[in-house]
Amino acid sequence: MLIFFVISVTVKVLAIITGISMYARYADCDPLLSGKVAHSDQVVPYYVMDVGGSILGLPGLFIAGVFAAALSTLSTNLLNLSTTIYTDLLSGFVSKSISERNVSYILKLIVAVVGIVDCGLVLIVGKFGGILQFGISLLGITYGTLLGLFTLGMVFPIANKQGALCGGIAGIIFSSCMVLGNLWYKFHGTLPDYPKPVSTRGCNFTTPLLIETRNYHGGEMPVAFFRISFWYYPFYGCLVVLVVGLFVSFVTRKPNSTPRPELISPMFQFLLPQKHLQRSASYRRSEVALKITAHATEDQ
C-alpha cells in the first residue's frame, strides 16, 4: 500500500509539473488557438515533439509508453469486467456442470461485446470534455459512495446496517444526478470548459493566418449543482453517504445495541463508550502471543 501510494503521488506530481511547464511555454502562443493542433488532447504530444523532437528516439519512446500503458490498462479492465459479469450476473443461470472450456468461451464473448461497446463510446466521448474527464466523472458515481460506506463503518460506532443501506442509496442517487446532469449539459454545449487565459500574441507568424477566437455559450448557465468540477464528485458522494447514514443510524438505533470494537479503526476507538473501550483493550503482550503461537506450532 505504501509503495502504491508513493508511486501514485509521484506520477501525479510529474503530471502537474508537465502541465505547468506546457502552460509556461505556450501561454502567449497557444497551439490550439494558433491552429497548430486541432484538439486539446494533442497538446502533450505536440509539446514532446516541440521540446524533445531533436533527441533521437524520445518521441517514439513517449508514444510507445502511452500505448503500452493504455493497452495494459484496457486488457486488465476487460478481464476484470468479464469475470465480474459472469460471476455476479450469469453464473446463476448456467449449469453447474459446465466445463472450463465453455466458461472461457463465455468470458471471451463478454470481452468482445464490451470491447465493441467501448469502441462505440469513442465516437461520443469527445462531446463530454475528453476521455479523462468522462472516465473520472463516471467513476465518481461509485468511488464516493464506496469511500463513504467504508468510512461510516470504520469510524462511527453508531452506524448500523439501515444507515449504511440508506446512505449508500442516497449517495448513488445524488452522485448519479450530479454526474449525468453535468454530462448532459456538456453534450448539448451549454456548459463549456473555461481554461486558463491564453493568447497568440507571442506567436511568430510569417504568413497571414486567420485565428478563430473561442466563443462560449452566452445563454443561461446551469444551476451550480451541475457546474461542480468532476474532481469533487467522490467528495460530495462520500459526504452524502455519511450525513444520511449517520442520521438514519441515529433514528433506527436500538437502546441496547452493543458496538463491536474490533470493527472500529484503532485511530477512532476513542469514540466508543468507556466500557466498550476497556473491553476492546484485552490484547496480550507480544512475548505471550509468541509463546502461544510456538506451543500451537509444536502441537501440530
Reported as a single tens digit per residue, the pLDDT across 142-185 is: 999 999 999 998 888 888 889 999 999 999 999 999 999 888 88
- Domain extents for the chain? 129-200+222-257
Range name among 70-74, 115-119, 196-200, 271-275 with the lowest pLDDT average = 271-275
With a CB cutoff of 8 Å and minimum separation 6, the contacts of 144 are 171, 175, 233, 234, 235, 236, 237, 238, 239, 240, 241
CB 192 within 8 A of CB 218: no
pTM for this predicted structure? 0.68
Identify which of 267, 54, 45 has the alpha carbon closest to the alpha carbon of residue 156: 267
Reduced to 3 states (helix: H, G, I; strand: E, B; else coil), residue 218 is coil
Q: How confident is residue 275, by pLDDT bands cut at 50, 70 and 90?
A: low
Reduced to 3 states (helix: H, G, I; strand: E, B; else coil), residue 22 is helix
- pLDDT number for residue 299: 52
CB 110 within 8 A of CB 85: yes
- pLDDT number for residue 286: 56
- pLDDT number for residue 147: 93
With a CB cutoff of 8 Å and minimum separation 6, the contacts of 130 are 40, 41
Residue 219: DSSP 8-state = S
- pLDDT number for residue 216: 47
With a CB cutoff of 8 Å and minimum separation 6, the contacts of 86 are 103, 106, 107, 110
CB 83 within 8 A of CB 107: yes
DSSP sequence for 12-59: HHHHHHHHHHHHHHHSSS-TTTTTS-SSGGGHHHHHHHHHHTTSTTHH
H helix intervals, 86-220: 100-125, 131-155, 161-187
- pLDDT number for residue 258: 67
**Residue 255 pLDDT > 80:** no
Taking residues 253-259, report their average pLDDT: 74
C-alpha cell of 94?
Answer: 448456467
